Amino acid sequence: MTGLSRTGSTGAHGARERRVRTGGVELCVAELGDRSAPTVVLVHGYPDSKEVWSEVAPRLAERFHVVLYDVRGHGRSTAPKPLRGGFTLEKLTDDFLAVAAAVSPDRPVHLVGHDWGSVQSWEFVTVKRTEGRIASFTSMSGPSLDHLGHWINERLKRPTPRRVGQLLGQGAKSWYVYLLHTPVLPELAWRGQLGKRWPRILERVEKVPGGDYPTSSLAVDAAHGAWLYRDNVRARLRRPRPDAYAHAPVQLITPLGDTFLSERLCDELERWAPQLTRRVLPAKHWIPRTRPDQLTAWITEFVMSVEGGTRAAGAATGKYAERFGGQLVLVTGAGSGIGRATAFAFAEAGARVLAVDRDAEAALHTAELSGLLGASEAWAETADVSDERAMEKLAAKVAAEYGVVDVLVNNAGIGLSGSFLDTTPEDWRKVLDVNLWGVIHGCRLFGRQMAERGQGGHIVNTASAAAYLPSKSLPAYSTSKAAVLMLSECLRAELAGQGIGVTAICPGIVNTNITSTARFAGVDAAEEKRRQKRAARLYGLRNYPPEKVADAILRAVVRNEAVVPVTPEARGARLLSRLMPGALRAVARLEPPL
């Protein structure tokens, strides 16, 4: 029998709480948002309670009717008696159906699960009796036990070195599962020192901020939750269901730094979930606490795509779509060249693209084309990166209207050629204002927003092979780019502890319009024009496309690379700068071919 009693109480963030009776337990259920909107049900994992969602739920409630409940034996829900046999997947499914009937009796719900919340939600979305009650499922850090059982059996039946390595790797990550099967020991540990130290462990190892999580019920929740493993893991892995196919669209969010689960567990998931959207996130296990903004964006996009009958943005076919779909990417100097190509590459990956350039028309054109290429959203903003006040206004506007940037590409730059003695102080100011101060302004303003949000991010600074390749004809330009390279290295060290990566991109000769706008010190206007045309012709003959630099930028963010020489000559010069710096100094004395 399933019953419902309304308490009328209000919980954190204005949530409405009620009690749902099912199978001899009472579940504490909280609701936020408009009940007429699509319902999103959040299911927590181990050893958590529903408060693990306290950063995600209010954000989702701006668009949806959000429901979160304490799993039986956790938080403010009661525990079954006896505990043994009271946490089977069948009974957890009964609980879910009772909650769904109480909060959304007439419409299917969108299900979101983390850790053991995801494990049990895989059961919900693959059993026959829930068909029609689930509109979509977002899974993070918790595989189906049936799928895991088949994954293990296939590797045991047909072992190869690669498959054996995968088994051993996941076996090592699952060390805690073995301990949770031991009698009494987990309960004693959680009620003792482990329970006391757990918040500090999460903060230090997982970078999980404090606040209202974890709650004072942690020790009891963890002790009860051990039965989730004891009642289900061995039995289901031994006899996985052969028909565990998802009957609703599934979004899989994989944190790449998950301490407990290997990425390889989901390699063949399309077999079980035909309507699958994949996402990846450079984060550790507890992403509901460390990446709430990104999860909110992805869940919102996925739910709205299912509600609207359209394909999810995460299903974009561009390179790295799993990684950048829905992320906010700002590119300066996006009106042409490497900046435009980079904006397009992120657009094809399904990102939200913000094209910034001092040329308003060029920025708008880049934004319009980005929208056509697959960007989930695209906008244009006008700013001169060398203008401190203009950049401050831009940063404030971006934060207020678009949100905190996930990836910042400081790309805007100008060229300047000429000997040191011919380069005037005004020439120096112009090149340093754009090439160096423009990067400093971007890093300072948007980097601070990333750091204050506390959810990671990445900064890409476009330097140049000239940063480590001395030349008698490029003293000002090379100095500005060398400064960008060192700034990037220093900033990378400072921000690493906050989950923010920093990359310096160092292209060599790339066919862009920088040659036609570059200035030449110490010559008259006619000679400058002649040299610009000759430089453009030489770069055109080299014909290294900016699209290759853009691809290197996306790859560098995915891999969190520090310094990335792009063209063959840039890579060669980087190697020589380390092994034979004297050779580079000798080359620097040669006359330029201009």
Q: Residue 472 domain-assigned?
A: yes
When mean pLDDT is compared across 5-9, 16-20, 347-351, the lowest value belongs to 5-9
| Token pair of 453 as six digits | 């949000």
Residues 234, 172 within the same domain: yes
Could you give the angle at the alpha carbon of 530 between the alpha carbons of 525 and 535, nearest 5°?
125
Is the separation of the CB atoms in 487 and 440 below 8 Å?
A: yes
Q: Is 22 part of any domain?
A: yes
CA distance 145 to 87: 14
| Per-residue pLDDT, 426 | 94
Checking if the pLDDT of 372 tops 90, the result is yes
408: which strand partners?
Answer: 330, 459
Q: Give the pLDDT of residue 235.
A: 94
How far is the C-alpha of 227 from the C-alpha of 222, rounded, in Å?
9
* 393 in Cβ contact with 399 (< 8 Å): no
Mark whether 330 and 296 lie in a shared domain. no
Tokens of residue 191, six digits: 């009620």
The yes-or-no verdict on residue 162 having pLDDT over 50 is: yes
Residue 265 domain-assigned? yes
| Cβ partners under 8 Å of residue 378, min gap 6 | 347, 352, 353, 354, 355, 367, 368, 370, 371
- The residue annotated as part of the active site, out of 69, 213, 229, 477, is 477
The answer to whether the predicted template modeling score (pTM) of the entire model surpasses 0.85 is no
* Average pLDDT over the chain, rounded to an integer: 91
Torsion of CA 361, 362, 368, 370, to 10 degrees: -160
State the pLDDT confidence band at 437, using cuts at 50, 70 and 90. Answer: very high
Single out the residue in 297, 315, 333 at which a domain terminates: 315
In this predicted structure, the answer to whether residue 401 has a pLDDT above a threshold of 90 is: yes
**Mean pLDDT for the stretch of residues 131-140:** 97
Identify the domain boundary among 248, 283, 315: 315
Dihedral over alpha carbons 560, 566, 572, 573 (to 10 degrees) = -90
pLDDT band at 529 (very low <50, low <70, confident <90, very high): confident
Are residues 563 and 437 located together in one domain of the fold?
yes
Task: Tell me the per-residue pLDDT of 180-230, one tens digit each, with 9 for 90 and over.
Answer: 999 999 999 999 999 999 999 999 899 898 777 899 999 999 999 999 999
CATH of the domain at 308: 3.40.50.1820
Question: CB 367: neighbour CB atoms within 10 A?
Answer: 23
Q: What pLDDT score was predicted for residue 510? A: 84
Q: Both 399 and 250 in a single domain? A: no
Q: Which residue has the higher pLDDT, 270 or 316?
A: 270
What integer pLDDT is reported at residue 542 of this predicted model? 65
175 and 309 belong to one structural domain: yes
Q: Are 92 and 72 in contact (CB under 8 A)?
A: yes
> CA–CA distance from 441 to each of 23, 332, 531 (Å)?
59, 11, 31
Q: Clarify whether residues 256 and 224 are in a common domain.
A: yes
Q: What is the pLDDT of residue 366?
A: 97
User: Left, alpha or beta for 288 (phi > 0: left; psi -120 to 50: alpha)?
Assistant: alpha
Contact 166, 152 (CB under 8 A): no
**254 with 375, same domain?**
no
Whether omega for the bond prior to residue 255 falls within 30 degrees of 0, making it cis, is no
3-state SS class at 287: helix
Residues 240, 178, single domain; the answer is yes
- CATH number of the domain at 415, please: 3.40.50.720
Kind and range of the H or E element at 501? Answer: strand 500-506
Percent of the chain with pLDDT over 70: 92
Return the top range by mean pLDDT from 5-19, 297-311, 551-565: 551-565
| Residue 112 reports pLDDT greater than 90 | yes
Domain membership flag for residue 273: yes
4 has a pLDDT exceeding 60: no
245 tagged catalytic: no
Contact, 503 vs 342, CB < 8 A? Answer: no
- How many domains, the chain? 2
| Whether 145 and 125 share a structural domain | yes
Domain boundary at 263, 291, 315, which?
A: 315
Residues 6 or more apart whose CB falls under 8 angstroms from that of 399 comprise 449
Domain annotation covers residue 565: yes
Query: Interior CA angle at 396 toward 390 and 398, to 5°?
Result: 100
Instruction: Give the model confidence (pLDDT) of 279-317 as tens digits.
Output: 999 999 999 999 999 999 999 999 999 998 765 544 566
The pLDDT value given to residue 313? 47
**pLDDT at residue 560, rounded to an integer:** 96
Residue 1, pLDDT above cutoff 90? no
Could you please report the per-residue DSSP string of 303-372? HHHHHHT---GGG--STTHHHHTT-EEEEETTTSHHHHHHHHHHHHTT-EEEEEESSHHHHHHHHHHHHH
pLDDT at 403 over 80: yes
139 beta partners: 113, 252
**Rounded to the nearest 10 degrees, what angle do helices 360-373 and 337-348 cross at?**
30
Q: Which residues pair with 4 in a beta bridge?
A: 20
| 175 within some domain | yes
Whether residue 593 is contained in a domain is answered as no
Looking at residue 207, what is its pLDDT? Answer: 87
Please indicate, yes or no, whether residues 561 and 467 belong to a single structural domain of this protein. Answer: yes
Sign for the CA dihedral angle at 457, 462, 465, 467 comes to negative
pLDDT reading at 424 higher than 90: yes
**Per-residue confidence at 5, pLDDT binned at 50, 70, 90?**
very low
Band (pLDDT 50/70/90 cuts) for residue 482 is very high
Examine the domain organization and report whether 434 and 571 are in the same domain.
yes
- The boundaries of the domain holding residue 94 are 2-315
Mean pLDDT across 67-85: 97
Query: In this predicted model, what pLDDT tens digit does every residue of 224-250 receive, in sequence order?
Result: 999 999 999 999 999 999 999 999 999
Q: Which of 26-35, 340-349, 409-418 has the lowest mean pLDDT?
A: 409-418
Does residue 594 belong to any structural domain of this protein? no
Q: Tell whether 354 and 474 lie within a shared domain.
A: yes
